[in-house]
Amino acid sequence: MELLPQQFRVPEIYGDYWLNSDPIQISGVTGIVVMIEFWDYCCNRCIRSLPYVREWYRRYSAQGLLLIGVHTPQFPFARDPVNIRKAVDNLNIKYPIVMDNDYLIWNAFRCTGWPTKVLIDKYGFIRYFHAGEGLYQNFEQALQSLLLNAGYQTGIPFVMDPIRETDRPGAICYKETHEILAGWQRGTIGNVEGFGPESVVHYEDPNYYVEGRIYASGDWFNDRNYLKLETDNPNGGYLTFLYQAKEVSAVIKPEGEKGFQLFVTQDDEPLSRGDKGADIRYDETGRSYFIVDDARLYNIVVNRQFGQHKLKFSTRSNGFAIYSIAFVTSVIPEFVTI
């Protein structure tokens, strides 16, 4: 753990909308430690970091920590205060949240990815900056050091134990498939038809797949942020992709129709009950599916072990709009230390 020198003062926070708090003027906050976390409720890495952030708030808010979550949206629907309020309640977040829809705070702090955590000392200087997952123990040690320097001498607990094996210092993990984005602006599609920006494209399944690309079958509208099924075919349409990971989640928004079924197969079979994600259900015939009822991150696969697989999403609903697919690695068993 190494703190940054007292060189850069914290910029002011100008947000669109505050939840769990009245607006906070950072320049007027002195004598206490401030933690700022940039996050998005549809970001899988942010959701994985959240148990640590919630626990730090529980542990240290009475010790002089001011924790502020800055919600900077990756996709347009995450700019809606109603969606953020629902997510904050569902995720049991009690600390102040400010919406950064125009990326003003993000750019002021020169962020490059989600999540990003920042620590500010009692004098208003940025002392610790970390982007991405991991290094939770280092971050908490830095937090404790700044709290002690601010004069809080009692009640400092032991640093949290890692929640997951992948969080342990020095954990050696497999390389998982990179996040797949679905929209034409930043996405990657494997079909030979390619993207047709802001238009409906008919795709044929090539039956040959490259890892990390999405393959469509049927008629799909190409938005800059998502692919949306647009078909009169009673059989609907589907998406297929190859991946290497232990877990799979996807950001999906129902467009027009809500509460429809999205069926999932892995390696051409229904998901086994030992590999299903938190949102997966089964119908009377044993088919695995989940209900698309809101614009959010859906947890689809939690394999028992890391591996390479083919995943397929199929539906008859024209309400299906997919934005991204995220993957989670696991530690290499041979390198796990007891």
What pLDDT is attached to residue 235?
87
The answer, yes or no, to whether residue 127 has pLDDT greater than 90, is yes
What pLDDT is attached to residue 131?
94
Instruction: Give yes or no for a contact between 142 and 126, defined as CB atoms under 8 angstroms apart.
Output: no
The answer, yes or no, to whether residue 6 has pLDDT greater than 80, is no
The answer, yes or no, to whether residue 37 has pLDDT greater than 60, is yes
pLDDT digits (tens, 9 = 90+) for 73-106: 999 999 999 999 999 999 999 999 999 999 999 9
pLDDT digits (tens, 9 = 90+) for 287-312: 999 999 999 999 999 999 999 999 99
pLDDT digits (tens, 9 = 90+) for 309-337: 999 999 999 999 999 999 999 999 876 66
Q: Which residue has the higher pLDDT, 23 or 154?
A: 23
Q: Which two tokens stand for residue 329?
A: 């690695």
Domains and CATH numbers, the chain: 17-165 (3.40.30.10), 180-335 (2.60.120.260)
Distance CA 169, CA 153 (A): 27
What pLDDT is attached to residue 64?
86
The answer, yes or no, to whether residue 140 has pLDDT greater than 60, is yes
Handedness of CA 109, 64, 101, 130 (dihedral sign): positive
What pLDDT is attached to residue 1?
58
The answer, yes or no, to whether residue 338 has pLDDT greater than 60, is no
Give the best-scoring range by mean pLDDT among 9-18, 36-45, 232-241.
36-45
296: buried, middle or exposed (CB in 10 Å: 19+, 13-18, 0-12)? buried
Average pLDDT over the chain, rounded to whole? 94
Q: What is the mean pLDDT of residues 257-261?
A: 93
**Range 2-7 contact pairs with CB under 8 angstroms and sequence separation of 24 or more:** 3/127, 3/128, 3/142, 3/145, 3/146, 4/125, 4/126, 4/127, 4/128, 4/129, 6/121, 6/123, 6/125, 6/127, 7/125, 7/126
Instruction: Report pTM.
Output: 0.94
Q: What is the mean pLDDT of residues 174-201?
A: 96
Distance CA 53, CA 55 (A): 5
